[in-house]
């Protein structure tokens, strides 16, 4: 970047900040990315990396479907380490009631032009023989993908740098307005705009934003190539992800490129510490074993936690911060921030540059929570 103040300072180089840096530097904006730790740490390092179209609401469908397309358009770009693959998702129905939901889901995806197919109980058992017997069937969404998020984030930052962005690693923002960013080192950056992409952490912002950290556990097994072929999600996952219970678990299994099985997932509000909690982990693993009993033969080699940034309505905050000139928000992506990172970057860029966005931006506008509730 040549001399003078930057056009934009991005706080955070998780997958969201990294995607925005790549997008805005491609527009020849002078971009500085400030990252307290390293690119792709934070929730991005903890996430499962399932790129999935979700139908909890119209706005969520629009954002996830659009973003999945953007991931597909970049398919040829991702480095090998990003482990970009397309195993598809199986939404598994445990009983006749859930199978009815499969049919509704199929109709909804079809109405939005997203390919999916219904599997009967027999077809499901043939596709994934390790699932327990007696399940009612599933919905297969063949174009859903999987990536290894920290490598994807690092690649986006690297590409931003090649396009002229400046990346400050190990630099913590202590305070910001929409035009002045103060680092813990004492360095002060003056800029035309600031983008908060720091995930669940926002102590440096002059705002009280309605985002709560929602803790999640994950576990990964030893290698077992061929054990599992699709991302498996129980239909009850939607209830777990979008309910407001303090604690919940759902079966969510992912075959990694290494042959390992990634096991999720749990959700907890009101927990601030990152330690793995045995009772929660056990509950999550029991749920996974209930669907896939053969997992009992695979040693778990690592467990970890991460924090999702959750908004009250389950949609992210993408747009201008209320009552703070120059400040923009790109946070609150809960359990879908890997999926929706690329669309977030596009929608934010469109708003900042005055371009027509590919999908309506209003459902994600921070101002939907009211001017006063967002301002401290």
Check residue 182 for interaction with ligand FAD (CB under 6 A).
no
Which of residues 130 and 344 has its CB atom nearest to ligand FAD in the complex?
A: 344
Check residue 216 for interaction with ligand FAD (CB under 6 A).
yes
Binding mask 256-295 for ligand FAD (x = CB under 6 A): --------xx------------------------------
Task: Tell me the HSE value of 160 on the side-chain side, using a 13 A CA sphere.
Answer: 33
Which of residues 94 and 157 has its CB atom nearest to ligand FAD in the complex?
A: 157
Measure CA of the first residue to CA of the last residue in the chain; give whole Å: 34
Check residue 191 for interaction with ligand FAD (CB under 6 A).
no
Among 30, 204, 230, 256, binds ligand FAD (CB under 6 A): 204
Q: How many residues bind ligand FAD (CB under 6 A)?
A: 41
**Residue 232 · residue 90 · CB < 8 Å:** yes
Check residue 173 for interaction with ligand FAD (CB under 6 A).
yes
Strands 247-255 and 89-93: unpaired
Check residue 60 for interaction with ligand FAD (CB under 6 A).
no
Dist. CA 91–CA 300, nearest whole Å: 24
Tokens 């009211």 belong to 370
Check residue 15 for interaction with ligand FAD (CB under 6 A).
yes
Check residue 255 for interaction with ligand FAD (CB under 6 A).
no
The least CB distance from residue 211 to ligand FAD, in Å, is 10
Dist. CA 34–CA 24, nearest whole Å: 15
The two three-digit tokens of residue 90, written as one number: 């199986």
Tokens 């499962």 belong to 48
- Exposed/middle/buried for residue 151 (C-beta within 10 Å: 0-12, 13-18, 19+): buried
The one segment of 99-107, 120-128, 155-163, 335-343 that binds ligand FAD by CB under 6 A:
335-343
Dist. CA 315–CA 120, nearest whole Å: 32
Spacing of C-alpha 99 from chain mean position:
27
Check residue 55 for interaction with ligand FAD (CB under 6 A).
no
Which run of H or of E encompasses 194? Answer: strand 193-196
The least CB distance from residue 14 to ligand FAD, in Å, is 2
The two three-digit tokens of residue 373, written as one number: 């509730």
Among 10, 29, 31, 34, binds ligand FAD (CB under 6 A): 34
User: What residue ranges bind ligand FAD (CB under 6 A)?
Assistant: 11-17, 34-37, 41-44, 46-50, 172-173, 197-199, 201, 204, 216, 218, 264-265, 306-308, 331, 333, 335-339
């Amino acid at each position: 970047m040549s001399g003078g103040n930057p056009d934009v300072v991005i706080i955070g180089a998780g997958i969201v900040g990294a995607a925005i840096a790549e997008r805005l530097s491609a527009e020849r904006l002078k971009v500085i990315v400030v990252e307290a730790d390293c690119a792709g740490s934070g929730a991005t390092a903890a996430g499962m990396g399932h790129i999935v179209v979700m139908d909890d609401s119209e706005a969520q469908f629009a954002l996830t479907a659009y973003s999945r397309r953007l991931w597909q358009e970049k398919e040829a770009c991702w480095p090998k380490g990003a482990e970009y693959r397309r195993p598809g998702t199986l939404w598994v129905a445990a009983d006749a009631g859930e199978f009815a939901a499969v049919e509704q889901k199929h109709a909804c995806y079809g109405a939005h032009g997203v390919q999916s197919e219904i599997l009967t109980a027999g077809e499901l058992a043939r596709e994934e023989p390790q699932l327990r017997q007696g399940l009612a069937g599933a919905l297969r969404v063949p174009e859903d993908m999987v990536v290894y998020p920290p490598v994807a984030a690092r690649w986006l930052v690297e590409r931003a740098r090649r396009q002229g962005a400046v990346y400050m690693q190990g630099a913590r923002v202590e305070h910001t307005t929409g035009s002045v960013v103060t680092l813990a080192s004492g360095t002060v950056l003056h800029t035309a705009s600031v983008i908060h992409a720091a995930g669940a952490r926002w102590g440096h912002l002059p705002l009280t934003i309605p985002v709560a950290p929602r803790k999640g556990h994950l576990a990964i097994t030893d290698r077992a190539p061929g054990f599992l072929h699709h991302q498996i999600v129980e239909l009850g996952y939607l209830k777990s992800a979008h309910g407001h219970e303090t604690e919940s678990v759902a079966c969510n299994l992912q075959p990694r490129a290494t042959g390992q099985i990634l096991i999720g997932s749990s959700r907890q509000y009101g927990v601030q510490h990152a330690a793995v909690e045995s009772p929660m982990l056990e509950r999550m693993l029991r749920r996974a074993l209930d669907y896939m009993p053969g997992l009992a033969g695979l040693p778990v080699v690592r467990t970890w936690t991460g924090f999702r940034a959750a908004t009250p309505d389950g949609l992210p905050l993408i747009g201008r911060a209320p009552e703070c000139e120059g400040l923009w928000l790109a946070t609150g992506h809960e359990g879908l921030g890997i999926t929706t990172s690329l669309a977030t970057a596009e929608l934010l860029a469109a708003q900042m540059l005055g371009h027509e966005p590919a999908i309506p931006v209003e459902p994600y506008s921070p101002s939907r929570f009211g001017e006063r509730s967002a301002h401290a």
